Amino acid sequence: MKFVSEEVIDAIIDELDAISDDQYEERMEAFAKAQPVIIAYLFDEENLHLLTEDERGFLQYLILIAWASIERVNGPGEPVSEDQIGEAEEKNYAVLEASTGKTFRDRVDPFFEGYAQEDLLAFIEEALLEDEGDPEALLTKEGREPLFVAAKSLIDTLI
């Protein structure tokens, strides 16, 4: 798997920011066709019950960016299975539970050690910290860790 750089991720974000709502829906439909299990996971409230509706929507946006970035660099991938997502989630929650960091950034540091797609992971981390400290923020403090684990787990399955 080729490395997905920050430049590719930024280009995908710029493209998504420049398209209409209808074109965005077309991108989501292409994503759903290519990765139906990931889409089902993202829209299944039971999987993401700890997150607010806004947080679930934000996660969908982040994973669309990650998927499009990975496909831009590496071409179309195989569809992901439920078992792959479950295994990735289990491993990632084990890493999080073993983390002794006090802040969100410190708690997710162990995920970066030896991770082949560091720019994708940094993109997720930065996106989740963007409004930190803003009382009107889209993301809750409680939602950051489950969001990070879900996003990393889905990226793990895509790569």
Mention every residue, 6+ apart, whose C-beta is less than 8 A from residue 36: 79
Residue 55: predicted pLDDT: 92
Residue 45: predicted pLDDT: 78
- Residue 110 confidence (pLDDT) above 80: yes
Q: How confident is the model at residue 96 (pLDDT cuts 50, 70, 90)?
A: very high
- Residue 90 confidence (pLDDT) above 90: yes
- Residue 132 confidence (pLDDT) above 80: no
Q: What global pTM score does this model have? A: 0.93
Mention every residue, 6+ apart, whose C-beta is less than 8 A from residue 155: 63, 66, 70, 117, 120, 121, 124
- Residue 136 confidence (pLDDT) above 80: no
Among candidate residues 140, 148, 91, the one with its CA nearest the CA of residue 123: 148
> What are the tens digits of pLDDT across the range 37-65?
999 999 887 878 888 899 999 999 999 99
Q: How far is CA 25 from CA 30, 60, 64, 150, 151, in A?
A: 9, 12, 11, 22, 20
Q: How far apart are the first and last CA of the chain?
A: 7
> What are the tens digits of pLDDT across the range 19-38?
999 999 999 999 999 999 99
Residue 157: predicted pLDDT: 97
Give the percent of the chain with pLDDT over 70: 98
Residue-averaged pLDDT of the chain: 94
